[in-house]
Structure formats: structure tokens, C-alpha cells
Structure 1
Amino acid sequence: MNLASLKKIRSSVVTAGLLASMISISACQQQPEPEASLENDINAEQPVPMSADPAEPNDIVVAADDAPESEVADDTIASVNTGVTQMVYLCSPELKVQATYKDEENSVVLVTNKGTVSLEQTNEGSNPEVFEGATAMDGTQGFVQWRVAHTERETGVIRTAGADASKVETYQCNKSG
């Protein structure tokens, strides 16, 4: 190799080295960010803090201009459901019964697809408990008798009849769930 070709190669290598170092230096310098615009803010997804707490406010607000008690006394009904137990029974022949026991009143309300009836307990015992009513399940003339057994009221028997007391329907029921 001659000296002239070595000088050309050397100048090419130096030029390539300078170009590479300029590119790497410019890449490391910070570029100014473009100015934010309203359109970018609208399109940008905003971070929302997440919480397991409900989104209800914790502040209690008392309105000073509430109506006095005398104005709302007739519209207000308060009830306390102590001694109330609800159970669902599946019966054979097919009948679903929702029983709401009101232990303090010694009564039960039975809700079925045939109607709703309120029954009063007629015995002092607890096994079986016997409840009776003077109307049929559909509210017409007749009777309904509900006998429920076991301390957890696990099984029951409904006997019901309309105006003709000789045609009694009997359902064997077991607590559901």
C-alpha cells in the first residue's frame, strides 16, 4: 500500500468516527417537549385513583330546613324486625313456600303461588309447631294448617281446603338451602 491510499483510508475512518460521535451526542441531548394543547388533554387518558371503598361520601349533611315532626308524623312508619325469621320450603306435590315466622307474635305468613295467608300458632309446643288460619290459601272460605317440625323448622306439612272441607290438599315440605 502506498502512503496516499493510507491517508485516504485514515481520513475516511476519522470522518466516520466524527459522524458517529456527533450522532450519539445529539441523541443524548434533551429535546424540548411540544407544548400541551387542549386537544391533547381531552384525548389523553387521565389517571383515576382506585379504591376498594365505596364511592359514597363520608360526610353527613343535616339539612336545617327539614319539615317538623308534626308534618311528617302521618307519613312515617317505623318497624323493628326482631324475632322475624324467613325460610323457603320446597313441597311435594310441587309448591314453593316462603314462610316468615314472627316468633314474638306466635304467627307465620305463608306466601305461595296459590296465595298468601297469615296463620296463628295454636299450640304451646315447639315440636311440632302448629299454625292455623280460617281462610284458604287464595283468601276464600276454607282453612290452612301449617305444621313445622324440628328445632330448626326443617320440615313442614300444609293442609288446606276451600269451602268443601272434605277435599283437603296435603303438601310435604322440606327447607330449601
Structure 2
Amino acid sequence: MKLGPLKQLRASVLVTGLLASAISLSACQQQQEPEPSLEDSISAEQSVPMSAEPAEPNDIAVTTEDASLNEVQDDTVATVNTGVTQLTYLCAPELKIEATYKDEANQVVLATGQGTLTLTKTNEGSNPEVFEAATALDGGEGFAQWRVAHEDRATGVMRMAGADETNVNTYECNKT
């Protein structure tokens, strides 16, 4: 028997084995994946866990009394009713008026540094709207009249008098 072909066979088996090992090792190694593009991130749908429990209900307390502005001005929670609008006016000569319009009741509550008064609408028109009360703004003897114009109640005129109804104070007011 000749040893030459046997050595060649052994060498080729060894080289084939080394190549097979190298191929199998390279197949097992981790390869870096390409980073996802911005479009892939946007189009990918992300799942958001949701609770099966319903949301807590909001308990709303409704009072039937008409509270004055001074009684409720420190409340931290307010409930908005339909037909109620609150506006602030700056008047000349100097007077600041907080007006709360109650359209369904045809009333306006005016709050100033002199006091708070509820006036009732006396006309059917909407421009100007005329509200009157048979008492002075401080709750004493006299009268108060509030005329407000424009659809958005942008301007107003406040007329008020104390016990001497011949001495009428007039204020021209603009919404702030």
C-alpha cells in the first residue's frame, strides 16, 4: 500500500473539516441588525394597556338657593350652567363691575366694591338689554339700572342713586 494517496486524503479531509467548522461558526455568530428607520417607527402600531374599570363618576352638587358673589368667590370648584355668563367691566369714573348674566332667569348679578345686587331685565330687546333694581347697589334706599349693548355685551352703562334719587351717578363701562 502506498502512503502518498492516504496522506492526500487525510489532508483533504482535514481542510474540508476546517472549512465546515468555519462555516458553522460564522452562521452561529450574532449579526448586527439594521436600525429601524423613522418611517418604520411611525407605522408600527404600539399597544397601550387599558383598564377594564370604568372611570369614576363626577358628583355634581346643585343648590337651589341663589348665593351672592361674596359667598361663592372663594370656592375652588365651579359648575358651569347653561345660560350663565360672567364678564368683567372697567368703568369711568373708576368702578370695576363683575357681571353674572342669568339668561334663563332674565337677571344679572352685579358685584362691585360697593356691594352686590341682582337686577331684573325690564325690556324684551337684546340691544340694549336693560336691567333694573328698586334698591341701591349697597342694598339701601335708591335704584340701580344696568344697560348693556352689543351681541357680546361689550359695553354697558351703570346708573345708580341712593336715597336722593335726583343725584344719579352714571358710569360708562367696557368689557375687559
Identify the TM-score tier after normalising by the shorter chain. Answer: 0.5 to 0.7
Question: Which stretches in structure 2 are left out of the alignment for 5+ residues?
Answer: 1-53, 65-79
Partner of 2:108: 108
Partner of 2:161: 161
Give the direction of change, closer, same or farther, for the CA distance of 1:59–1:83 in structure 2 (3 Å limit): closer
2:101 is the alignment partner of 1:92: no
What do the CA deviations read for 1:34-89 (whole angstroms, capped 9, x no partner)? Answer: xxxxxxxxxxxxxxxxxxxxxxxx9749xxxxxxxxxxxxxx74467210000000
**Residue identity opposite 1:156 in structure 2:** G
- Runs ≥4 residues deviating over 3 A: 58-61, 76-80
Where in structure 2 are the equivalents of 1:122-141 lying within 5 Å?
122-141=122-141
Counting matched residue pairs gives 105
Where in structure 2 are the equivalents of 1:18-167 lying within 5 Å?
60=56, 77-78=62-63, 81-167=81-167
Question: Which stretches in structure 1 are left out of the alignment for 5+ residues?
Answer: 1-57, 62-75
Structure 2 CA distance for aligned equivalents of residues 165 and 149 of structure 1 = 24
Give the direction of change, closer, same or farther, for the CA distance of 1:78–1:140 in structure 2 (3 Å limit): closer
Give the direction of change, closer, same or farther, for the CA distance of 1:142–1:83 in structure 2 (3 Å limit): same
Structure 1 CA distance for aligned equivalents of residues 62 and 107 of structure 2 = 21
CA shift, 1:128, in A, is 0.3
Structure 2 CA distance for aligned equivalents of residues 105 and 130 of structure 1 = 14
Structure 2 CA distance for aligned equivalents of residues 77 and 140 of structure 1 = 30
Structure 2 CA distance for aligned equivalents of residues 142 and 126 of structure 1 = 26
Give the direction of change, closer, same or farther, for the CA distance of 1:121–1:60 in structure 2 (3 Å limit): closer
- Identical-residue share of aligned pairs (%): 64
Tell me the TM-score normalised to structure 2 length: 0.56
Structure 2 CA distance for aligned equivalents of residues 111 and 123 of structure 1 = 22
